[in-house]
Structure 1
Amino acid sequence: MVRCAADLIARHGVAGTSIGDVLAAADAARGSVYYHFPGGRAQLMAEAVYFAGEVLGAELNRARRRPLPDAVAAVAGIWRRRLIETDFEVGCPVAAGAQARERDPEAAEAGEEVFLQWTHLLAARFREEGFDDRRADELADAVLSGIEGAVVLCRARRSVEPLDRVVLTLNELVRRPVPETVTDAEPR
């Protein structure tokens, strides 16, 4: 049920995923939801987001181990494959969960937690390349938000072109030295 719920969330969002949809996809009896998920739909949606986070996080972890420019492309490649294989039907279930704050706060909390884990994972990779903590965190946010945003555009346009473009831009960003900034306290 959790796997089916994660797939449905990736396709329809949390709000668009009902218990009935999950039961039909999992070929499960209605009573099994409340037996396995005493917290009902809210618990099932949150667990589906966590599950998707673990599955995608494992792929992200493998991708991040590659040389830096290849790592960014490999992270995007996870989404490229998913988009093409599903004819642009599947988005990110973690993003869908994170955006469900008003109606499904448990799913939103799960999405927020997973994104934080992914950000830490990516930032650790940038630290391995010698970036300081602040810059590593900035780059991790840039990669994650760039790719997640590109996935939305890919689905809207039914093309992987936005993802390909963002990979080129992100690779330039991770190669570019940090510009020096002038503070007001420093003489100009």
Structure 2
Amino acid sequence: MSARHSDAPQRVVAAAAEMLATYGLNASSVREVAKRAQAPFGSTYHHFPGGKQQVLAEATTLAGAKVDSVLATCLQAGGAEGLSLFLAMWRERLIRSDFHAGCPVLAAAVEEPIDAAPDDAQRAAAAVFACWEARLSEALCTDARTHGQAHALATMIIASVEGAVAMCRAMRDIGPFDRVALQLESLVADR
């Protein structure tokens, strides 16, 4: 078996994450994901017996883990500086993609699948958001901020960034993101 075939499942999941970020959950077909991954379509169901929902759930988890890794790295600089670094990464992603790529986790969270009853991708998105909240909350919990305050702030940061990303994509303008980032940085720096 060639190396090209052995990494097909990983390529499929990565391609699905990219499609989620750009086109959303319902527009991400297994056939198109396999094509973009340069993986044999027939073997896709062998590796993913749960079909599209399994592929998209794994893609959501993969995308969430990648963002979590970036977030963890950014937060090594401290809460306020780490948040600034993380926001800069998102800003760059929006601009670099000309506002076409958003957050695959948000796409999985907000779209109801039209072609399947189980919603594995939505459950995966919920788990990712909880992971990000925990990571941010831990970094924001300081002497001046209780765990409850840090958790609430972490929730607001995630919701604000996700909303700003969606607004920027719709408006094809970085302005909403910059305004939200400025407010979030101010809130985190206040403590």
Tell me if both proteins adopt one fold, taking TM over 0.5 as the criterion: yes
C-alpha separation between the residues in 1 aligned to 2:93 and 2:32?
21
Map of 1:1-188 to 2, 5 A cutoff? 1-101=12-112, 103=114, 105-128=119-142, 130-176=144-190
Contact map agreement 1:97 1:111 (CA 8 A) in 2: yes
Q: CA deviation at 1:69?
A: 2.8
C-alpha separation between the residues in 2 aligned to 1:2 and 1:131?
39
Does the residue aligned with 1:152 lie in a helix, a strand or coil? Answer: helix
C-alpha separation between the residues in 2 aligned to 1:74 and 1:93?
20
Q: CA deviation at 1:129?
A: 5.6
Q: CA deviation at 1:60?
A: 1.0
Q: CA RMSD in A?
A: 1.5
Letter in 2 for 1:41: K
C-alpha separation between the residues in 2 aligned to 1:128 and 1:173?
14
TM-score by length of 1: 0.88
**Cα offsets for 1:109-156 (capped at 9, x unmatched):** 000000000000000001146411110111101111111111011111
Contact map agreement 2:25 2:56 (CA 8 A) in 1: yes
Contact map agreement 1:100 1:107 (CA 8 A) in 2: no
Contact map agreement 1:101 1:107 (CA 8 A) in 2: no
Q: CA deviation at 1:20?
A: 1.4
1:180 alignment partner in structure 2 = none
What runs of 5+ residues in structure 1 fail to find an aligned partner? 178-188
C-alpha separation between the residues in 1 aligned to 2:181 and 2:90?
12
Percent identity over paired residues: 35
Q: CA deviation at 1:59?
A: 0.7
Letter in 2 for 1:62: T
C-alpha separation between the residues in 2 aligned to 1:102 and 1:121?
29
TM-score by length of 2: 0.87
C-alpha separation between the residues in 1 aligned to 2:124 and 2:79?
28
Q: Which has the higher Rg, Structure 1 or Structure 2?
A: 1
What runs of 5+ residues in structure 2 fail to find an aligned partner? 1-11
Does the residue aligned with 1:59 lie in a helix, a strand or coil? Answer: helix
The runs of at least 4 aligned residues of structure 1 exceeding 3 Å deviation read 101-104
